[in-house]
Amino acid sequence: MSSGARIRFVLPSVVLGAGLTAASTSAMNLVLPDLRRDLAASSAQTAWFVVAFLVALIAVLPLAGRIADARGHASVYLCGFAAYAVGSLLCAGAPGPWFLVVARGTQGASAAFIIAATPALAAASARAGAEGSALGWLSSATYAGMAAGPALVSRVLQSGGWRATFLASAVVSAVVVSAGFLSIPSELIRRERQQHPPPLSHHRWRGFRARIRELAAALPGPETRSTLLVSLAVHAALGGCIFMLSLVLKDRLQLAAHASGALWTAHASGLAGAAALAGMASDRIGPRRVSLLAMMVMATGMMGLGQAWSRLVPWQAGLWLVLVGAGAGAFAAATSGILVGEARPQSRGVAGSWLALSRNAGTCCGIGLATAIPSPTAMQHSLAAGALLVLFASVATLLRNRHPVLLGDVGAEKVS
């Protein structure tokens, strides 16, 4: 098959890989009770099973983006998945708690390279003018995988135990690497290496200051920083509200387990469906318009849920959760379009890594703030505060972008 024919399969392969990876990793919390019992782990060690992954992910993300831009997104994408498969095998064979903590850190560091390279590779494989659609489908597949993940992981856990879940993750990673080798033409890899800047220098004579300047190239520029701050604020509001709702919604509505699961499935469906539509809309009307509309939809969903909280019934909760999910999914696709889709090809790895960092850090901040709320009776105030934070972010975006680019995004500057 010619390179031109094979490149058409790159985007479907990347989208499929994102969905499968999200499905295999989204419900790892389900295995914690079995892990703790079988490995005789303490509460602190059990917490480190989760924290080690997140710390390694957040710490490595900025450097991973720079390396992806220097070495080529396709190469880093494949190597990242191969390393993730090794980390999963180490987790599956862990003889003790601290070995598993180190293995989870290996998974987190590998995931940083995957996250940095995946959006850039999806944008590079899309046809000209369709980068937004490609990134939208990528976000949609990720959310769809996250929605299906708990059911799939629970089945593997019941049939094979917690070690089988990590083995399944290794198999998924191997499948993604195989699909990548079959679909990504060598011509694309060579073209990326020609377009990208040279890798970080290892020559001693260049000196410490030269290395600092090289690493500073991974820092975001002024326009990118404003977008990242908006993303941080929105995901803080979203993460805090969703965390609180997950704690109190089931008891508030007196729902059975399957009914509660249906509500959160509806929320995930809103995420996945809106992300794909937002990507296509970004190609037509521009990602900045879509991001503003998404923030309005998200704030409306939070406000509606807060206003109806005292007399909330299941169908209302489902409706508002779908609206919040739709706004969140559309916002994720639009911000990917702004930062990754509009970035120069040789800077997309850095853009994708900083975007992922803002999302993870914002979510962690939101959850941390939510845990400070004294009682579940403050849910209405939490939702109102989240909606106000999202509206504040949308107003800040309007004030920041008081120029023609906001009206159509045509001819927008490339993100530095």
Burial 68-81 (b: 16+ CB within 10 A, else e): bbbbbbbbbbbbbb
Residue 415 maps to a domain: no
- 60 and 108 Cβ atoms separated by less than 8 Å: yes
Examine the pLDDT at 221 and tell me if it is beyond 60.
Answer: yes
Could you tell me if 247 and 370 lie in one domain?
Answer: yes
**Residue 412, pLDDT above cutoff 60:** no
On the 0-12 / 13-18 / 19+ scale of CB atoms within 10 A, 256 is: exposed
| Stretch among 249-258, 340-349, 373-382 having the lowest mean pLDDT | 373-382
In a domain, residue 416? The reply is: no
Single pTM value for the model? 0.78
Q: Which of 181, 216, 251 is the last residue of a domain?
A: 216
Residue 96 lies in a domain: yes
pLDDT bracket for residue 143 (50, 70, 90): confident
Confidence of residue 29 (pLDDT cuts 50, 70, 90): low
Please state the domain count of the chain: 2
Lowest mean pLDDT across 38-42, 257-261, 285-289, 360-364: 257-261
Q: For 122-141, what is the mean pLDDT? A: 83
Q: Within this chain, do residues 360 and 267 fall inside the same structural domain, yes or no?
A: yes
In this structure, what CATH number is given to the domain that contains residue 355? 1.20.1250.20
Residue given tokens 């090809």 in the structure block = 345
Say if 39 falls within a structural domain.
yes
Check: CB of residue 330 under 8 Å from CB of residue 290. Answer: yes
**CB-based contacts of 95, cutoff 8 Å, min separation 6:** none
106 or 258, which is more confident: 106
d(CA 306, CA 396): 23
372 and 284 both lie in a single domain = yes
3-state helix, strand, coil in the chain (%, to 5): 85, 0, 15
Q: Which domain-ending residue is among 182, 216, 250?
A: 216
Same structural domain for residues 79 and 156?
yes
Higher pLDDT, residue 127 or 26: 127
Residue 177 pLDDT greater than 80, yes or no: yes
Residue 413 lies in a domain: no
pLDDT tens figures, 325-368: 999 999 999 998 888 877 777 778 888 888 888 888 888 888 77
Asked if residue 409 has pLDDT above 50, the reply is no
- Whether residues 28 and 164 share a domain: the answer is yes
Long-range contacts of 300-305 (CB under 8 A, 24+ apart): 300/327, 300/387, 301/325, 301/326, 301/327, 302/237, 302/241, 302/383, 302/384, 302/386, 302/387, 302/390, 303/383, 303/384, 303/387, 305/245, 305/383
What are the pLDDT digits (tens) for 386-395? 899 999 988 8
Beta-carbon neighbour count of residue 293 at 10 Å? 18
**Domain finish residue from 165, 181, 216:** 216
Q: Is residue 202 part of a domain?
A: no
Q: What is the pLDDT of residue 7?
A: 54
Most confident among 11-15, 244-248, 281-285 (mean pLDDT):
281-285
> In 10 A of CB 372, how many CB atoms?
7
Confidence of residue 163 (pLDDT cuts 50, 70, 90): very high
Residue 203 lies in a domain: no
Residue 110's pLDDT band, with cuts at 50, 70 and 90, is very high
> Is 240 found in the same domain as 120?
no
DSSP 28-79: GGGGHHHHHHHTT--HHHHHHHHHHHHHHHHHHHHHHHHHHHHH-HHHHHHH
Most confident of 143-147, 169-173, 198-202: 169-173
Q: What is the mean pLDDT of residues 28-40?
A: 82
* pLDDT score recorded for residue 404: 42
pLDDT single digits (tens) 60-103: 888 888 888 888 888 888 999 999 999 999 999 999 999 999 99
Q: Which pLDDT does position 301 carry in this prediction?
A: 93
pLDDT for res 408: 42
pLDDT surpasses 70 at 264:
yes
Are 287 and 245 contained in the same domain?
yes
> Do 294 and 327 contact (CB within 8 A), yes or no?
yes
The pLDDT score that the predictor gives to residue 345 is 76
Residues 135 and 243 in one domain: no
Structure tokens at 66: 């720079």
Q: What is the mean pLDDT of the chain?
A: 80
Tell the residue number behind the tokens 């080690």, with chain if given.
Answer: 52
Question: Domain check: are 292 and 385 in the same one?
Answer: yes
Q: 290 with 176, same domain?
A: no
Residues 182 and 284 in one domain: no
> What is the span of the domain harbouring residue 29?
3-197+209-216
The pLDDT confidence band at residue 320, using thresholds 50, 70 and 90, is very high
One domain, residues 262 and 187: no
Question: Mean pLDDT lowest for which of 190-194, 205-209, 264-268, 360-364?
Answer: 205-209
Residues 6+ apart with CB under 8 A from 236: 362, 363, 365, 366, 369, 389
* pLDDT above 90 for 294: yes
Cα distances (Å, whole numbers) of residue 234 to 137, 239, 255, 344, 380 = 21, 8, 29, 25, 18
Give the ranges where 161-286 is alpha helix by DSSP (H).
Answer: 162-183, 186-195, 207-216, 222-253, 257-285
Give percent of the chain with pLDDT exceeding 90: 21
Rg (alpha carbons) of the chain, rounded to whole number: 21
Confidence of residue 402 (pLDDT cuts 50, 70, 90): low
Tell me the percentage of the chain whose pLDDT exceeds 70.
81
Q: Does residue 330 fall inside a structural domain?
A: yes
Residue 193 has pLDDT above 80, yes or no: no
